[in-house]
Structure 1
Amino acid sequence: MTEEKVATNEFKLDPDSELRFEVENKNEKVTLELKSGLAEVFGTELVKGKKYEFSIGAKVAVYTFQGCTLELAGKTDVSYVAKETPMYQYINCHAAMENMREEAEKNDKRGPITMVVGPCDVGKSTLCRILLNYAARMGRRPIFVDLDVGQGHIAIPGTVGAISVERIADVVEGFTNKKAKASGIVINTCGWVKASGYKLLTHAAQAFEVDVILVLDQERLYNELVRDMPDFVKVVLLPKSGGVVERSQQQRNESRDQRVREYFYGNRTPLYPHSFEVKWCDAKIYKIGAPILPASCMPVGMKAEDNLTKLVAVSPGPSLLHHLLTNVDVDRQTITVLSPQPRPLPNTVLLLSDIQFMDSH
């Protein structure tokens, strides 16, 4: 048998243009190589001559300021060169944030707190990644806050999280808190921007005391925030990239499951999670929110409580399966949990989310 030859395509990009490609087939792997010039992927510079491998689910945009030659090896579902990109506007946002960081550093104050908002599938997470990478390339250490519970870019879906984005520590200086203080925060949000979703956005803006809100691709949301935010909050409307792909509900579910698998089992580097039993009496399980009582059930003159944020105790049982519990033994009154660390649980209080995951390993 002769080995099948992998298709190779060469792309020559003019300055301020972008190579966009997608990989949707799980059996396909695509290799990207920078042959000449300078290029970056979402703010991360490519190393010339290094081969970068992408597989199922990859949606990549390779941007160049000065022009470059790229080589793609393997079968992509979509690949094309885009002449128009919003990257200069994104760069201007970064430059404005950097000016704010310099001012904060000079006066020993906190850096800019920036929140990225917009409907589903407009590139919020990508813009966050670009801004964070540019900040790190400037030697900053911004904090990334992820409030997108639907996808989860730091931990698993159903959770919020925060991480410090930093370079390797300096051999002499180590890590300096002052630099982290001036670097500021970049906040990613979910695509729920109407009704209660809008209230959550404005609540997050108030809670984090944001300085800047970047609105992607929705003038209505932009105008609502201009109306409702204090004068000191700068609200900026930005276009989405033409390479942003709208995902179906099935694709979102698959992406969510993949994020959970990667969290426990790793991606390129395999991880080995732990599975162990916990007695019902050793753990307390809660969920947030309870059904709203109808007014007819309340005494005359009394109003029903706001149960949306109420902490409600949950009794262990078979209904808890697939909430990262691999088994519920009613007779022995134990649950088997999937954990990234060995026993015991770091906390005996467990908070239940609506995200479910069936462990296929």
Structure 2
Amino acid sequence: MLGRNYENAPFLPGPRAAAPPAPAQGRATPPRQVKLERECELRIEVGENSPLRLRLLNGYAEIYGTEIPPEIWLNFPPRLKFAIFTWHGATIEMDGGSDTSDYVADETPMISYVNVHAILEARRNRAKASSSDDIESSQGPRVIVVGPTDSGKSTLSRMLLSWGAKQGWKPTFVDLDIGQGSITVPGSIAATPIEMPIDPVEGIPLEMPLVYFYGHTSPSANVDLYKLAVKELAQTLEKQFSGNSESRAAGMVINTMGWIEGVGYELLLQAIDMFNADVVLVLGQEKLCSMLKDVLKTKPKVDVVKLQKSGGVVSRPPRYRQKSRGYRIREYFYGLANDLSPHSNIANFNDLSVYRIGGGPQAPRSALPIGAEPAADPTRVVPVNISQDLLHSVLAVSFAKDPEDIITSNVAGFIYITDVDVQRKKITYLAPSAGELPGKFLILGTLAWLET
């Protein structure tokens, strides 16, 4: 797929297959139209069994900040949830999606959201007008979106990015939510510039993301490693911003995870500090907003703003989240609508080196006080023997040149282990493109997927 450390070549997806055919004409259920009044929202959940297509017949409407082109059918695959908002009124025509559910809402927080965008736009313009030699004054807004699980953080981030791109900016999107993964597979933190409004169907573009592999779907699995990954990403972006006035003025939008208590709250404060965020948008929780205002009051240049979460945001049970992670991994290899062609490859055990991060004692017993037990080192790079235990694992392909550099290196992409032949010492894996892997060092976490 991916990967960019501004020197390394990307590991791109395979070629797209032919586009799926449009639904057959003359079906039993005819297309239906929904008329939206001004400042209303059509909330849609495409069912499990059949895709949906829709088009804008008249008026103006957008999906999470991206304008819908008029009279063009858009195809939405099963299981997708989204909302169509109109500022002045619109008529939507929908076809297919026999098990799709939808309803119209006339109460939304969109006015407050677009007001935030207007403030960010003014800050970008001021930064652009400043001398590029003055790093501080030429720095555009750095927005971090925080809140509990299922409060609409990803949606708001997407809106702010698309609105900014529509105005000609190229804001950087930073995704710290390892549980779902808006840019690439779960278990990763990533950043990518947003050069155009985000496609309503395809989502975040994957041409040049900068990705660090954490390897787990919860920070609690290895808090020290998560902190280190966030630090590495922040430092890399800081270097890029210092030499690129356009990116610096456009700023960034940072999406965070929903763990906001205890250690999760500490990680949130670390992210605000590491990325030098100056706008903190708090969705849906008074307590968190109050706590952040109190702890950040010593930083007068940091604004903490509470926003209402959308009524379209619903709580997702753990089982649903687990299934969503599987869909995201499948989408990486096969595309949202099965329009990518991944490649199956076979390699010798000796051609690849697998490592995991975390484990092994920090110090030998002889160096510890009498009676003390050695603790595991959460950031130690440990070699892993290739065995059947790797079956169905998703591994990251590191850009590191030496094993000791793995922990601080970004990754080129991901492979999926489909077979391990111990007797022949052969490993079979699925990769997004043909040819040799861009690196021989693979990183193992706890990310697994059972292809169906």
Shared fold by TM > 0.5? Answer: yes
Alignment of 1:200-279 (within 5 A): 200-229=267-296, 230-231=298-299, 232-268=301-337, 270-279=339-348
State the distance in 2 between where 1:306 and 1:93 align.
45
Of stretches 246-255 and 142-151 in structure 1, the one that deviates more from structure 2 is 246-255
Aligned counterparts of 1:121 and 1:287: Cα–Cα separation in 2:
31
C-alpha contact 1:13 1:64 (8 A) present in aligned 2: yes
Question: 2: CA distance between counterparts of 1:207 and 1:304?
Answer: 31
Aligned counterpart for 1:198 among listed residues 236, 257, 265: 265
Query: Does 1:69 find its partner at 2:69?
Result: no
Q: Any conservation in 2 of the 1:21–1:76 contact (CA below 8 Å)?
A: no
List per-residue Cα deviations over 1:122-179 (Å, max 9, x = no partner).
11111111011000110000111111111112121222221111149xxxxxxx9533
CA displacement at 1:48 relative to structure 2: 1.9
Equivalent residue number for residue 74 of structure 2: 52
Code of the residue aligned with 2:427 in structure 1: it is I
Q: Where does residue 114 of structure 1 map in the other structure?
A: 143
Residue in structure 2 matched with residue 39 of structure 1 by the alignment: 61
1:310 Cα offset (Å): 3.4
Secondary structure in structure 1 of the residue aligned to 2:32: strand
2:154 to 125, 128, 137: 125
1:21 — aligned with what? 44
Select the residue among 113, 120, 126 that pairs with 1:90. 113
Counterpart in 2 of 1:316? 386
Partner AA of 1:259 in structure 2: R
Q: Is contact 1:30–1:76 with CA below 8 Å preserved after alignment?
A: no
Work out whether 1:179 is the aligned partner of 2:246: yes
CA contact (8 A) 1:38 1:46 kept: yes
For these two proteins, the number of residue pairs brought into alignment is 349
Q: Which residue identity does 1:310 align to in structure 2?
A: R
User: Hey, what's the Cα distance between the residues in 2 that align with 1:111 and 1:255?
Assistant: 34
Runs of 5+ in structure 1 lacking a partner?
169-175
Q: Distance in 2 between matches of 1:56 and 1:265?
A: 15
CA distance 1:31–1:276, change in 2 (3 Å): closer
Moved more, 2-11 or 179-188: 2-11
CA 1:340–1:40: 2 relative to 1, 3 Å: same
CA–CA separation in structure 1 for the residues paired with 2:371 and 2:323? 48
Residue 436 of structure 2: aligned partner: 344
CA contact (8 A) 1:116 1:124 kept: yes
Provide the residue aligned with 2:123 in structure 1.
100
Gaps of 5+ in 2: 1-24, 133-137, 198-242, 394-415
Aligned counterparts of 1:288 and 1:5: Cα–Cα separation in 2: 55
1:327 aligns with 2:396: no
SS in 2 for 1:150: coil
The Cα shift of 1:250 comes to 2.1
Q: Deviation at 1:55?
A: 2.9
Q: Percent identity over the alignment?
A: 41
Residue of structure 2 in register with 1:149 after alignment: 178
CA drift at 1:202: 1.7
| 1:289 positional shift | 2.7
Is 1:353 the counterpart of 2:440? The answer is no
Residue 351 of structure 2 corresponds to residue 282 of structure 1: yes
TM-score (norm 1): 0.88
Please provide the CA RMSD for this pair. Answer: 2.6
Partner SS state of residue 307, structure 1: coil
| Residue 134 (str. 1) matches residue 163 (str. 2) | yes
Counterpart for residue 159 of structure 1: 188
Amino acid in the other structure paired with 1:327: D
**Alpha-carbon offset, residue 188 of structure 1:** 1.3
- Contact 1:285 1:315 (C-alpha < 8 Å) held by counterparts: yes
CA distance in 1, matches of 2:169, 2:88: 24
1-structure distance, mates of 2:265, 2:417? 33
Q: Distance in 1 between matches of 2:353 and 2:292?
A: 40
Amino acid at match of 1:336: T
Distance 1:287 1:66, change over 3 A: same
Cα separation, 2, equivalents of 1:223 and 1:300: 46
Closer, same or farther in 2 for the Cα pair 1:92/1:291, shift >3 Å?
Answer: farther
Q: How far apart are the structure 1 equivalents of 2:361 and 2:281?
A: 35
The CA distance in 1 between the partners of 2:39 and 2:360, in whole Å, is 53
What is the CA deviation profile of residues 178-233 of structure 1, one whole-angstrom value per residue up to 9, with x for unaligned ones? 33321111111222222222222222222211111211112222222223335222
Output the amino acid matched with 2:163: Y
Deviation at residue 303 of structure 1 after TM alignment: 8.2
In structure 1, what is the equivalent of residue 210 of structure 2? Answer: none
Structure 1 residue 88: Cα displacement: 0.8
TM-score, scaled to structure 2? 0.71
User: Deviations along 1:105-138, whole A, 9 cap, x unmatched?
Assistant: 1113222111111222111111111011000110
How much has 1:76 moved relative to structure 2? 4.9
Query: 1:3, CA displacement in angstroms?
Result: 4.9
Alpha-carbon separation, structure 2, partners of 1:103 and 1:303: 56
Out of 126-135 and 211-220, give the one that drifted further: 211-220
Alpha-carbon contact 2:42-2:83 (below 8 Å) kept = yes
CA distance in structure 1 between the aligned counterparts of 2:273 and 2:160, rounded to whole angstroms: 21
